[in-house]
């Protein structure tokens, strides 16, 4: 692959205020308590990871639909202007929506969507980042509102931006 080609793994995820309980240590007889308010806030992320550099690019969205995905693709094309982008992705309906056709045709010399086989999330490197993100910000933690989730997500994204080598290790591209 030449220096003008970028290989990105893409996916979307939802970070919810649901309690994600994981194994944890506590003093005997002192079980960890995580409050709940009966309502669940969430943040939807569209993201990519460059599997050669470890660069992570994410945007938040109010919904996870074809229109939101199209807005994300426009941002990707702008971010990687002058480069040919190969984007590895799953077969979600929003990735194949009719709404995208004109945009994809217009940008066929800059953007190529490479679809993974159905039901194979283990082949998409960004899935490992989503797991890392969720383990880091929602496991054994309760966020009382959407703002708290967004702040935790942004803090973790800043950490990933500053640690490309750790990102590459996490996604299995370097040992």
On whether residue 120 sits in a domain, the answer given is yes
144, two tokens: 């009382």
On whether residue 133 sits in a domain, the answer given is yes
pTM of the model: 0.84
Who wins on pLDDT, 82 or 142?
Answer: 82
User: Would you place residue 21 in the very low, low, confident or very high pLDDT band (cuts 50, 70, 90)?
Assistant: low
Give per-residue pLDDT as tens, 25-57. Answer: 667 777 665 555 555 667 899 999 999 999 999
Give the range of the structural domain holding residue 135, as residue numbers without chain letter. 5-14+41-170
User: Would you place residue 146 in the very low, low, confident or very high pLDDT band (cuts 50, 70, 90)?
Assistant: confident
In whole angstroms, give the CA distance from residue 80 to residue 19. 37
Residue 89 has pLDDT above 80, yes or no: yes
Domain total in the chain:
1
Smallest Cα–Cα separation from 18: which of 2, 39, 45?
Answer: 39
Residue 147 has pLDDT above 90, yes or no: no
Across 138-147, b (16+ Cβ under 10 Å) vs e yields: beeeebeebe
6, two tokens: 């970028």
In whole angstroms, give the CA distance from residue 47 to residue 140. 24
The pLDDT of residue 19: 54
CB 160, CB 55: distance < 8 Å: no
- The CATH number of residue 139's host domain is 3.30.420.10
Q: Could you give phi then psi for residue 152, rounded to 5 degrees?
A: -65, -40
In whole angstroms, give the CA distance from residue 21 to residue 142. 10
On whether residue 126 sits in a domain, the answer given is yes
On whether residue 96 sits in a domain, the answer given is yes
On whether residue 135 sits in a domain, the answer given is yes
């Amino acid at each position: 692959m030449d220096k003008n080609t970028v290989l990105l793994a893409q996916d979307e995820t939802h970070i919810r205020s649901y309690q994600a309980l994981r194994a944890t240590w506590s003093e005997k007889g002192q079980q960890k308590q995580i409050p709940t308010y009966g309502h669940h806030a969430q943040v939807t992320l569209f993201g990519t990871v460059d599997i050669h550099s470890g660069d992570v690019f994410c945007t938040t969205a109010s919904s996870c639909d074809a229109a939101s995905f199209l807005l994300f693709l426009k941002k990707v094309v702008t971010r990687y202007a002058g480069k040919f982008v190969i984007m590895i992705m799953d077969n979600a309906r929003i990735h194949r929506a009719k709404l995208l056709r004109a945009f994809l045709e217009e940008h066929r010399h800059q953007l190529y969507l490479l679809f993974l086989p159905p039901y194979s999330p283990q082949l998409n490197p960004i899935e490992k980042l989503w797991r890392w993100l969720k383990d880091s910000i929602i496991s054994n933690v309760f966020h009382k509102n959407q703002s708290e989730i967004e702040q935790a997500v942004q803090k973790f994204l800043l950490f990933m931006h500053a640690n490309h080598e750790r990102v590459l290790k996490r996604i299995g591209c370097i040992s």
